[in-house]
Chains A and B, each alone.
Chain A
Amino acid sequence: MGCEIVSVSADTQFVHLAWQREEKDLANVKFHMASDRNGDLARQFGIWNNGFTLRGTYLVAPDGKLMSAEVNFLNLGRNIDETLRKFKANVYLGKHSAEGCPAKWKDEGDKTLKPGPGMVGRVHEAMQK
C-alpha cells in the first residue's frame, strides 16, 4: 500500500532472525527488521534510553518529511489501528491539502473539515453537516 514498514531496535540482525523464528506471534512478519546497533538513528529522534530504544513510531513521507511522531515509554504498547489511521489520513491529506481530518476520521469517505472564516467558532455545526 505504498508504505514500507521497518521495525527497529538496537539488537543485531542475527538476534532479529532468532527471535522471529522462535516467537509464534512473529511467524507472519513481512516487514523489515532493522538493527540500529549503536542507537544512531534513535538518537536523532531523541528516543535513545540507556542502550534501549523507546517505543517511537514515525511516519516519513515519500519526500522525506516527518509527518507523524508518537513515543511511548518502555512498558506501553501501541495500537496499530491508530497508526494505520494516521497513515491513511496523511495519504488523504497529501491529495487534499486544504482539508483537515478530525479526531474520529478513520478512512477515505469520512467527514473532513475545510478550515476557513466560516468555521471559526462553528466546528460543532460543521461536524453535523
Chain B
Amino acid sequence: MNEVTTIQVGQTVPDFTLTTYEPTTNGFGTYSLAEARKNGKWTLLFFYPADYTFV
C-alpha cells in the first residue's frame, strides 16, 4: 500500500495537467492548474463517477 497524503482545505493544490475534451470548440485540449493560476482564475473541480451516469 502506498501512503497517499490527501489535500486538505487551506493547503495548496499541487499543479496538475489533465487531457480534456472541449465542447466549445469540439476539440481536445489540456487543462493546467498552473495556467489558470497564471491567469488569476479560480478553478472548480467537479468530479463524478463516470460518463453516461447522472451528474
Contact = CB atoms under 8 A, between A and B. Distances in A.
A19 B52 contact: yes
A117 interface: no
A63 to B, nearest CB: 7
A64 B40 CA distance: 10
Summarize B's interface: helix, strand, loop or mixed.
loop
A128 interface: no
Interface residues of A, number: 64
A32 B44 contact: no
Contacts of B51: 9, 11, 15-16, 18-19
Contacts of B41: 2-4, 62
B7 A13 contact: no
Interface in A50-77: 52-69, 74, 77
Interface of B: 4-16, 18-24, 26, 28-29, 31, 33, 36-37, 40-52, 54-55
Interface of A: 2-20, 23, 26, 29-37, 40-47, 49, 52-69, 74, 77-78, 83, 87, 90-91
The 5 A-B pairs of least Cβ separation, nearest first, read A46-B6, A34-B18, A16-B21, A3-B42, A19-B51
